[in-house]
Amino acid sequence: MKHLRSIPELGADGLARLLELTNHMVEVNRRPVPKVPALRGRTVVSLFFEDSTRTRLSFETAAKRLSADTMTFSVSTSSVNKGESLRDTVETITDMGVDAFVVRHKSAGIPWQISEWTTAAVVNAGDGWHQHPTQALVDCFTVREARGCERFDGLTLTIVGDIKHSRVARSNIAAFSMLGAKIVLVAPPTLLPPDVAHWPVAVSHSLDEVISRTDILYMLRLQSERMAQGHVPNLREYSERFGLDARRLAMLPSDAVVMHPGPMNRGVEMLIDPSALPNSLIHRQVANGVSVRMAVLFDLLAGESSAGNLREVSP
């Protein structure tokens, strides 16, 4: 597959390959000069239609460490709606010469639509509520690193929060189940998607009931708009039922870890100062972001997935 658009599309083999490649990139990032010429002469363009400093910088750093050239288009939605269409933007950039697009957009499906308009590789940095494959790669890698194992058979991942609107949840559910983990979703019914019966998950509406049996506690952010939309009556009630506070922290097994994709809503889902959390992998999640994204770009433009992306080179 010449794109990285979703975890299901990547598949178990692709997942394993990228996680393995990440090890190489971690080593590169430990060097005094953390840079390799692998993608020299290639151009990676970030098309971020949603604000995201952290992810965008993570991708750009990754590209630069592989010696690729980078371009950034931080497009606020309104400017694309006026006049130049998304297709025009993509085609113009393709004409200028691009090897890979890294795209984040609030509408699901954009990476697939963009693939129709360009020959470049497309990396999904988040499409609406749908998928955020590199986040799932970061999270899987971080857990592997923490537990020293390649597979997660016998481990329980508990994801808490606004699953319905979470691309991180969808990608992680796919990735962690490919690696054998048992998955539990915790949310009020209004924050669960309409029909999860066919997902490989168990569902609970009570965090207190399941928290003492989990190996990984994954907290999702709750956006304040959800209150206005009637998904939860108010944020206080949400925090009481689903937030991580001192009492719940004490209920976690001693070797359980806590994760969060960031950014955090302090006082909503996170009622403890994150730096006071023992067994927090949140910093590792951030730290591993660059290595994972290096692996992704390398794989698409130079590695096993690159067969479709190699530029014409005269002999």
Least distance to another protein from the beta carbon of 88, Å?
9
Among 82, 95, 153, 195, binds another protein (CB under 8 A): 195
Residue 39's contacts (CB-CB under 8 Å, 6 or more residues apart) are: 63, 66, 67, 68, 99, 297, 298, 301, 302
Query: Distance between CA 204 and CA 182 in Å, rounded?
Result: 13
Catalytic residue among 132, 144, 164, 293: 132
Number of residues that bind another protein (CB under 8 A): 50
Q: Nearer Cβ to another protein, position 48 or 129?
A: 129
Q: Is 24 in the site for another protein (CB under 8 A)?
A: yes
119 classed as catalytic? no
Query: Distance between CA 95 and CA 75 in Å, rounded?
Result: 19
- Which residue in this structure is represented by tokens 């928290």? 211
Among 118, 131, 265, 288, binds another protein (CB under 8 A): 131
55 classed as catalytic? yes
Catalytic residue among 54, 87, 106, 311: 54
Q: Nearer Cβ to another protein, position 11 or 128?
A: 128
Least distance to another protein from the beta carbon of 63, Å?
14
Q: Of the candidates 226, 231, 207, which has an alpha carbon nearest to the alpha carbon of residue 218?
A: 207
82 classed as catalytic? yes
Decide: 269 and 232 in contact? Cβ < 8 Å. no
Residue 251's contacts (CB-CB under 8 Å, 6 or more residues apart) are: 208, 211, 212
Q: Nearer Cβ to another protein, position 153 or 195?
A: 195
- 216-219: strand order across its sheet: 202-204, 182-186, 156-160, 216-219, 257-259
Least distance to another protein from the beta carbon of 46, Å?
18
Residue 183 parent element (H or E): strand 182-186
- Could you report how far apart the first and last alpha carbons of the chain are, in Å? 26
Contact mark string toward another protein, 78..117, x via CB under 8 A: -------xxx-----------------x-xxxx-xx----
Contact mark string toward another protein, 154..193, x via CB under 8 A: -----------xxx--x----------------------x
Q: Nearer Cβ to another protein, position 28 or 160?
A: 28
Least distance to another protein from the beta carbon of 64, Å?
14
Least distance to another protein from the beta carbon of 31, Å?
5
**Which residues inside 230-259 make contact with another protein, applying CB under 8 A?**
none
Among 196, 272, 286, 287, binds another protein (CB under 8 A): 196
Least distance to another protein from the beta carbon of 245, Å?
29
* Burial zone of 123 (CB within 10 Å; 0-12 exposed, 13-18 middle, 19+ buried): buried
Q: Is it true that the peptide bond before 263 is cis, omega within 30 degrees of 0?
A: yes
Among 35, 54, 236, 266, binds another protein (CB under 8 A): 35
Query: Distance between CA 270 and CA 132 in Å, rounded?
Result: 22
* Burial zone of 13 (CB within 10 Å; 0-12 exposed, 13-18 middle, 19+ buried): exposed
Residues lying near another protein in the complex (CB under 8 A) = 21, 23-24, 27-28, 31-39, 41, 66, 85-87, 105, 107-110, 112-113, 128-131, 165-167, 170, 193-196, 198-199, 298, 302-307, 310-311, 313
Catalytic annotation, residues: 54-55, 82, 104, 132
